[in-house]
């Protein structure tokens, strides 16, 4: 697991391991960014860690050795909000920026493959599908865009929300998209047609700061700015469990499902500078709490 803080003076990410008793220990502290770290992602093959920053750069790390492999820079004209690896290898990565663009990188060569232009305001989230043929993105112009990677063109535009889109994600086969927004709604879309399939929440809900499909294809995790992370059966529109104890009222922290051996954990960052871990079950027991320096801890698995 890797964590970083959104505190402006914090420019360090921390790589941690967890033992069978759910106790964390620090492997490495990675330093190199000039401004706050906004996103951290492990490559699909588990070999590399990428960090994105308000300094407009992406850094690629050998997290096992704690060394910097390379820096991707010189293209974005503003801070980077999110990054996503291609699902097959550690070759491709995309970055979403406040300059209204998404850049697709060949990480091995350190070169730009595409710069995707179409958003009219900052892009807050972007994600590859499993086959690395599509990217879904969302941001402050309220529109979900699905991009065909090879030609670098918009495949589908979905005017799906009435406020900024904070997170987007593909399911495993890429046929579905989940989006979350400050309008308080989490929505499920069909990728091919752009049709709306399900809506979770109501217009008077607290803003949604993050959403993510659970690998079993049955559930989505939805984090809201009232200090809750909810596990929804999105096909039945049934709330299966909710997890609380962390603080979330201002910032867009990270949430995820973490399979540890034969156990499933729900993990979330928090504005108190901690990472929280719960049992992924209806009783939602808090298992572990990890203190990180700074505020609004972001974490990635």
Give per-residue pLDDT as tens, 182-206.
Answer: 999 999 999 999 999 999 987 678 8
Q: What is the CA radius of gyration of the chain?
A: 18
- Report in angstroms the alpha-carbon separations of 114 from 133, 135, 148, 156, 252: 13, 12, 11, 17, 27
pLDDT, tens digit, for every residue of 23-76?
566 777 788 888 888 888 889 888 899 999 999 999 999 988 889 999 999 999
| Closest to 74 in 3D by CA, of 28, 105, 120 | 105
Neighbouring C-alpha atoms within 13 Å toward the C-beta of 282: 4
pLDDT at 258: 61
> How far apart are alpha carbons 13 and 232 in whole angstroms?
30
pLDDT at 152: 96
- Please give the full DSSP string across 137-173, using - where no structure is assigned: EEETTS-EEEEETTTTEEEEEE---SS-EEEEEE-TT
pLDDT in tens for each of the 301 residues of the chain? 666 655 545 555 655 554 445 556 677 778 888 888 888 888 988 889 999 999 999 999 998 888 999 999 999 999 999 999 998 778 999 999 999 999 999 999 999 999 999 999 999 999 999 999 999 999 999 999 999 999 999 999 999 899 999 999 999 999 999 999 999 999 999 999 999 999 998 767 889 989 999 888 889 999 888 888 889 999 999 999 888 776 665 555 566 666 555 577 787 777 777 778 787 777 777 777 777 655 444 555 5
pLDDT at 266: 81
| Closest to 102 in 3D by CA, of 88, 121, 87 | 121
Q: Would you say the C-alpha torsion 101, 212, 297, 228 has a positive or negative sign?
A: positive
> How far apart are alpha carbons 34 and 28 in whole angstroms?
18
Phi, psi of 184 (to 5 degrees): 90, 5
> How far apart are alpha carbons 255 and 270 in whole angstroms?
10
> How far apart are alpha carbons 12 and 288 in whole angstroms?
22
Q: In what order do the strands lie in the sheet with 92-97?
A: 80-85, 92-97, 101-106, 111-117
pLDDT at 225: 87
Strand partners, 102: 96, 116
pLDDT at 147: 98
DSSP structure class, residue 33: -
> How far apart are alpha carbons 263 and 5 in whole angstroms?
27
pLDDT at 273: 72
pLDDT at 296: 47
pLDDT at 8: 47
> How far apart are alpha carbons 90 and 144 in whole angstroms?
25
pLDDT at 23: 58
Cβ contacts of 130 within 8 Å, gap of 6 or more? 87, 88, 170, 172, 173, 174
> How far apart are alpha carbons 228 and 250 in whole angstroms?
13
pLDDT at 253: 58
């Amino acid at each position: 697991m890797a964590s970083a803080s959104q505190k402006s003076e914090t420019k360090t990410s921390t790589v941690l391991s967890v033992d069978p008793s759910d106790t964390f220990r620090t492997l490495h502290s990675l330093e190199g960014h000039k401004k706050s770290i906004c996103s951290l992602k492990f490559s699909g093959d588990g070999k590399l860690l990428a960090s994105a920053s308000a300094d407009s750069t992406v850094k690629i790390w050998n997290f096992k050795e704690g060394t910097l492999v390379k820096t991707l820079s010189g293209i974005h004209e503003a801070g980077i909000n999110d990054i996503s690896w291609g699902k097959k290898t550690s070759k491709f990565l995309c970055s979403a920026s406040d300059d209204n663009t998404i850049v697709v990188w060949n990480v091995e060569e350190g070169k730009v493959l595409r710069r995707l232009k179409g958003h009219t305001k900052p892009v807050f989230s972007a994600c590859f599908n499993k086959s690395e043929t599509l990217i879904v993105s969302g941001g402050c112009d309220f529109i979900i865009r699905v991009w065909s990677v090879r030609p670098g063109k918009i495949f589908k535009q979905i005017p799906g929300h009435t406020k900024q889109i904070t997170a987007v994600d593909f399911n495993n086969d890429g046929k579905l998209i989940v989006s979350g927004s400050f309008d308080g709604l989490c929505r499920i879309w069909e990728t091919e047609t752009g049709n709306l399939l399900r809506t979770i929440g109501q217009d008077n809900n607290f803003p949604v700061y993050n959403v993510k499909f659970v690998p079993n294809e049955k559930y989505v995790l939805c984090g809201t700015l009232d200090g809750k992370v909810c596990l929804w059966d999105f096909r039945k529109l049934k709330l299966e469990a909710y997890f609380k104890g962390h603080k979330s009222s201002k910032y867009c922290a990270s949430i995820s499902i973490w399979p540890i051996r034969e156990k499933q954990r729900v993990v979330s960052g928090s504005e108190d500078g901690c990472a929280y871990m719960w049992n992924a079950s209806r009783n939602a027991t808090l298992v572990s709490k990890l203190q990180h320096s700074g505020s609004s801890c972001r974490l990635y698995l």
